């Protein structure tokens, strides 16, 4: 009963976190529109997308931390949990420190060869700040993963909401003077707050004196690396999708259109994150039940699947219905590009969201083959369909290609993962996770 209460509390807190962060995102974009305009938002989107390519060599370490902390929590004792948590944070700190150093050097090298038009210069000037924010984001996410792994997602959500308020205040103070650079600085301080409070919460829960992580177990490190290698390719394809999409949009339009698309894309993916944020709280339970009680896992999977599917449908209809109102409030007028992008993107991301429970089940079991195939297929479809559609129909065509790719591959993943758990589907027979 206590575990069920904690699961519901984590889900409700995660829902509140995502809704609150969406409100903060809305206000922050409103401030950006007022002070810098859609073109500068396009510059910000492009710089962020380039920086996000650093995740290609991540190897899925964040997901690994949650999984191994959850498994240790299930039966190995608090000492094993803190050992896994510290090793995970140190691993991610090392990985992203190296990635960001390489990206800094890359800026210095490629700056000499890139054409120095105004748009390129704006992106290059902004990138050191987005890289710094990117580094702190991933270190903070490692500490949050530890909280999720010990079933304290509600604390993680509370910390995230407080930090979002700090970020919004800093954006209001910095953006009028610093432009979009102020957003990166605000995010950097937001992530510092998240890391500090999340890690102290982990230490208090495990009855350890709060300290900076310093112990790294070689055995745990190798386990994390081994598991991470299995999901690295999947992450590579997921990371490539957004930069490729925005490159297509920018190629077949301009930075102003990319800025409008960025706002529609964020609105759609944020409503998706409301559902995913709630659903993802079951990952530690999936990992635990797949080892200890497969019958209970089946019940939990069914309930999660129903919630995800129903919520995705309702959310997609709702967000498309209110897109004209969001356009008026956010942009200041009835922007038909924004409404069109919203209408095109919503169905694809709805179908993709319905596949989230299936995806999480595969992650919890350590079997990532179908997840990788789905992500690879989405990128291939985006390029194969996006280029001809973009050439003929502009940014609208590229957006349609992205929606089709992400939706079709989500449906395929949903079906094939369930068949892989059991030849007759999850509905009957024993479940084999080997």
The predicted-structure confidence for 5-33, as pLDDT tens digits, reads as follows 466 777 777 778 877 877 887 788 777 77
Any idea what DSSP says for residue 326?
A: H
What pLDDT does residue 432 have?
32
The full length of the chain comes to: 434
Q: What is the pLDDT of residues 168-206, one digit of tens each?
A: 899 888 888 877 788 888 889 999 999 999 999 988 888
What whole-number distance in Å separates Cα of residue 184 and Cα of residue 58?
21
Contact 263, 402 (CB under 8 A): no
Nearest to 232 by CA among 422, 114, 371: 371
Residue 177 lies in a domain: yes
Report helix, strand or coil for 41: helix
Q: How many CB atoms lie within 10 A of CB 8?
A: 12
Report helix, strand or coil for 201: helix
Quote the crossing angle between the two packed helices 255-279 and 395-421, to the nearest 10°. 20
Residue 430 lies in a domain: no
Residue 426 lies in a domain: no
Tens place of pLDDT per residue across the chain (434 aa): 455 546 677 777 777 887 787 788 778 877 777 777 766 777 767 777 667 666 655 555 666 777 777 777 766 566 778 888 888 888 888 888 888 888 878 777 766 655 555 566 667 777 888 888 888 888 898 888 888 878 787 888 889 899 989 988 998 888 888 777 888 888 899 999 999 999 999 888 888 777 788 887 777 777 777 777 666 777 778 778 888 898 898 888 887 888 888 888 988 987 887 788 778 778 777 877 777 777 888 888 888 888 889 989 998 999 899 999 988 887 778 888 899 999 999 999 999 999 999 888 887 777 778 888 898 999 999 999 999 998 899 889 999 999 999 999 999 998 888 776 654 333 333 333 23
Domain count, the chain: 1
| E strand or H helix at 82 | helix 78-110
Residue 408 lies in a domain: yes
Residue 429 lies in a domain: no
Residue 54 lies in a domain: yes
Any idea what DSSP says for residue 424?
A: T
What whole-number distance in Å separates Cα of residue 161 and Cα of residue 167?
10
**Domain around 379:** 2-421
Residue 123 lies in a domain: yes
Joined tokens for residue 110: 């490629």
């Amino acid at each position: 009963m206590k575990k069920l209460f904690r699961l519901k509390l984590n889900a409700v807190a995660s829902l509140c976190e995502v809704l609150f962060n969406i409100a903060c995102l809305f206000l922050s974009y409103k401030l950006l529109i007022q002070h810098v305009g859609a073109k500068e938002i396009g510059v910000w989107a492009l710089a962020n997308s380039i920086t996000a390519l650093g995740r290609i060599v991540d190897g899925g370490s964040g997901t690994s931390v949650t999984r191994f902390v959850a498994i240790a929590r299930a039966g190995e004792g608090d000492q094993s949990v803190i050992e896994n948590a510290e090793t995970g944070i140190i691993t991610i700190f090392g990985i992203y420190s190296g990635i960001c150093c390489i990206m800094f050097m890359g800026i210095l090298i490629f700056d000499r060869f890139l054409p120095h038009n105004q748009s390129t210069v704006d992106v290059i000037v902004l990138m050191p700040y987005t890289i710094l924010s990117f580094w702190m984001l991933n270190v903070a996410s490692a500490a949050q993963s530890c909280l999720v792994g010990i079933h304290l997602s509600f604390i993680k959500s509370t910390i995230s909401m407080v930090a979002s308020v700090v970020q919004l205040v800093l954006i209001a103070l910095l953006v009028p003077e610093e432009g979009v650079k102020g957003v990166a600085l605000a995010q950097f301080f937001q992530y510092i707050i998240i890391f500090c409070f999340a890690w102290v919460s982990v230490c208090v829960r495990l009855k350890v004196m709060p300290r900076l992580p310093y112990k790294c177990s070689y055995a745990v490190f190798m386990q994390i690396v081994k598991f991470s290698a299995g999901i690295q390719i999947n992450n590579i394809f997921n990371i490539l999708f957004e930069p490729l999409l925005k490159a297509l949009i920018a190629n077949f339009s301009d930075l102003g259109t990319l800025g409008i698309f960025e706002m529609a894309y964020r609105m759609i993916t944020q409503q998706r994150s409301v559902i995913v944020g709630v659903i993802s709280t079951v990952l530690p339970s999936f990992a635990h039940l797949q080892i200890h009680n497969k019958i209970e896992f089946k019940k939990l999977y069914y309930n999660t699947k129903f919630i995800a599917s129903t919520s995705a449908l309702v959310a997609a209809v709702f967000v498309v219905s209110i897109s004209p109102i969001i356009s008026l409030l956010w942009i200041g007028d009835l922007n038909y590009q924004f409404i069109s992008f919203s209408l095109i993107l919503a169905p694809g991301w709805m179908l993709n969201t319905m596949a989230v429970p299936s995806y999480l089940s595969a992650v919890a079991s350590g079997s990532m083959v179908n997840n990788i195939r789905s992500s690879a297929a989405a990128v291939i479809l985006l390029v194969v369909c996006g280029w001809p559609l973009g050439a003929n129909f502009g940014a609208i065509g590229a957006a349609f290609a992205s929606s089709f790719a992400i939706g079709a591959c989500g449906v395929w993943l949903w079906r094939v993962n369930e068949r892989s758990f059991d030849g007759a589907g999850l509905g009957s027979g024993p479940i084999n996770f080997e």
